[in-house]
Amino acid sequence: MSVTVANGTTTHNISIVIPVYDGSSTLTALLQEIAGQVTPQHSPLGNSFVVSEVLLVWDGGSQRSADVVRHLDSQYSWVRAIWLSRNYGQHAATLAGMSSTAGEWVVTMDEDGQHDPSYIGQLLDCALSNSTQLVYASPSNGRPHGLFRNASSASARWAFMKLVGDNNIDQFHSFRLMLGEVARGTAAYTGPGVYLDVALSWVVSSSAVTPIPMRNEGHEGSTYSFKKLLAHFGRLVISSGTRPLVYVSVIGFVFFMLGILISLWVLFQRLFADATPQGWTSSFVATLVIGGLILLSLGVIAQYLRTAVNMSLGKPLYVVVEDPLKHFPQISPHEK
């Protein structure tokens, strides 16, 4: 039962989903904090809630993090481990956890400890006060990453808004609360290559944000390389719609008209000015520019085709399996 009623008071049940890749040094402390909320609590506005379950989704990460997941699963009755067959990425792992939840509300958090679970009540207050199905945490103290990571994120958000024309990217954050039915429905129908927050925007009429301070990450550095961040941005743009294809068409039309104008100018020079335009350098540069834009346009189209082909072939977003230790007992519990 997702909602319990006792003495006329409604208690909202909350499921927490935490994708795990390299959380061996942070998960134990994070779960100890959450343990204080597995009994009925009251939010700042007086709403009663309880954390009914925590789903740790192991995303094919380090063996040490797998050992920690096993330990926490055996230590707490309200913790459930979910094992993926390989590394599918944070969004796929989050969706795998969302599909297995049972709570009235679902909270997603990172494994590194920067999300403080004591603010879950504030997220719930925002959802109930605004009658919205989705609430994002908005960092009130800035994003706890390095200068390069923050600058890259800001540039990506600006480029996304210009390319797609959607200002909602400023709301996107991995610390979020959503209605359980929305979470499970989104997880059931989201295909490969789709950005999680974009998929959520397809099924909710509106979302809200609430300011919440972020803590420093519990481990050094980020597991996302520049290549992964670039792929992350590409998936965000491609899954947000087909508007970039309109830009490809506009580029093609502009250069088509430019080609006609240049041809008319050359013809005019030849017929009326008795001059033959020369200059192989300008022709070579023009060829490089136009050829580069053509290849860029083909690359954009190819990304859409790649996503469509993956979905048509039935490529799974993730595959849930049993604990690998059951099938491969030779794995050392202390193997790195």
Q: How many CB atoms lie within 10 A of CB 75?
A: 11
| Secondary structure letter of residue 211 according to DSSP | E
Strand 176-179, strand 320-321: pairing: unpaired
Closest CA to 83 of 98, 61, 102: 61
Sequential pLDDT tens for the chain (336 residues): 455 555 567 899 999 999 999 888 999 999 999 999 999 999 999 999 999 999 999 998 888 999 999 999 999 999 999 999 999 888 899 999 999 999 999 999 999 999 999 999 999 999 999 999 999 998 887 655 555 555 555 555 555 455 555 555 567 888 999 999 999 999 988 877 777 888 888 888 888 999 999 888 755 555 555 566 556 566 655 555 656 666 666 677 677 677 667 667 767 776 776 666 666 556 755 676 677 677 677 767 777 776 676 666 667 888 889 888 877 776 655 444
Separation of alpha carbons 90 and 136, rounded Å:
17
* The predicted structure's pLDDT at residue 336: 40
Residue whose structure tokens are 């040490």: 64
- What three-state secondary structure class fits 84? strand
How far apart, in Å, do the first and last CA atoms of the chain sit? 40
Helix, strand, coil share of the chain (percent; to 5):
50, 15, 35
Bridge-partner residues for 208, per DSSP?
A: 135
At residue 61, what is the residue type? G
Q: Is 78 exposed, middle or buried (0-12, 13-18, 19+ CB in 10 A)?
A: middle
Which residue, chain included where needed, has tokens 């039962």? 1
* Total residues found in the chain within this entry: 336
Predicted local distance difference test score (pLDDT) of residue 181: 95
Contact 187, 92 (CB under 8 A): no
The predicted model scores a pTM of: 0.73
201 exposure class (CB count in 10 Å sphere: 0-12, 13-18, 19+): buried
* Nearest alpha-carbon partner for 218 in 16, 56, 22: 22
- Name 128's Cβ contacts closer than 8 Å, sequence gap at least 6: 45, 47
Q: How many helices (H) and strands (E) does the chain have?
A: 11, 10
The answer to whether the CB of 157 falls within 8 A of the CB of 170 is yes
Identify any residues that bridge with 15 across adjacent strands, giving them in sequence order: 53, 106
- SS3 call for 143: coil
DSSP letter string, 281-301:
HHHHHHHHHHHHHHHHHHHHH
Task: Name the burial class of residue 292, with classes exposed (0-12), middle (13-18) and buried (19+) by CB atoms within 10 angstroms of its CB.
Answer: exposed
DSSP-derived 3-state class of residue 80: strand
